[in-house]
Amino acid sequence: MSEFHEAVAARLRDAYSTGVIDPLRQALAPTDAAGAYAVQAINTRFWQAQGRRIVGRKVGLTAQAVQQQLGVDQPDFGVLFDDMALADQGRLDPTRVIQPKAEAEIAIILAAGIDNAEASASDVAAAVGEVAPAIEIVDSRIANWQITFADTVADNGSSAFFVLGESRKPLAGLDLYSCGMVMEVNGKVASLGAGAACLGHPLEAAAWLARTLSAIGEPLQAGDVVLTGALGPMVALKPGDTVAAHIGGLGSASFTYGDN
């Protein structure tokens, strides 16, 4: 890792406490995946040294329309730390985020690790212990969400927090392809989607992640939570909002942003 990447990583870390920064275009070319993941890795190691514990990964950019918008043909990933988990029906303090948005997802919790650079959806299925409805609260340290692929990757996949529904089910018998999703904000429908919106199938998104992490020597571990990607459009949050995601066959997850 270069001093250059270290400096970019420090700018992003500082933004958590000092506020948004300009897009990284002067530092990272929009599609510089190697440089962006190098920055992400620097901050991951920094936060681990501060005592944060990795509990899983998130897959992002699983919608083809979003990939096209950012000029790439692949998803991305970020790291989930233990302190990013919110309790189902819990509350998110607005001072802990900058410009948050919520998206409904399917989460898988692995019963076995996956170290296979050619992992398939079937390999992932064999490793799944439980499946849960989830909400990811994404955030960006880049001003006005003016992100490129490199911006979001360097910024840990624009991650912030996540909620896992209390309902956990085995994979057998679930239809993760055609299951419907409804996300409500304050009791009104705000986003609609389906399992197939997530890279064709949530297990395909997880298989992409498994292959990618295995290839770089950081394979998925037993117990890891994997957020497989958005099932529908994300929704910007304002203080007082209560968000609930309902996923067919899986159940619901919810949280309140600030006091309500």
pLDDT given at position 260: 56
Two structure tokens written together for 186: 């304050």
Output the CA torsion 72→155→225→200 (10° steps). Answer: -20
Question: Could you give the number of structural domains in the chain?
Answer: 1
- Rounded Cα distance between 161 and 149, Å, is 20
Residue-range definition of the domain harbouring residue 140: 3-257
CB atoms within 10 A of CB 187: 8
pLDDT digits 0-9 by tens, 87-112: 999 999 999 999 999 999 999 999 99
Mode of pairing for the β-strands spanning 180-185 and 54-60: unpaired
Average pLDDT along the chain:
94
Task: Tell me the C-alpha to C-alpha distance, in Å, between residue 181 and each of 105, 117, 245.
Answer: 9, 31, 7
- Rounded Cα distance between 184 and 191, Å, is 7
CATH code, domain carrying 146: 3.90.850.10
Q: Which of 70, 77, 72 is nearest to 41 (CA)?
A: 77
User: Which residue carries 């890279």 as its tokens?
Assistant: 199
User: Which residue carries 């949530």 as its tokens?
Assistant: 202
pLDDT given at position 63: 80
pLDDT given at position 141: 96
Res 1 pLDDT > 60: no
Predicted TM-score (pTM) of the model is 0.96
pLDDT digits 0-9 by tens, 183-229: 999 999 999 999 999 999 999 999 999 999 999 999 999 999 999 99
- Rounded Cα distance between 224 and 235, Å, is 26
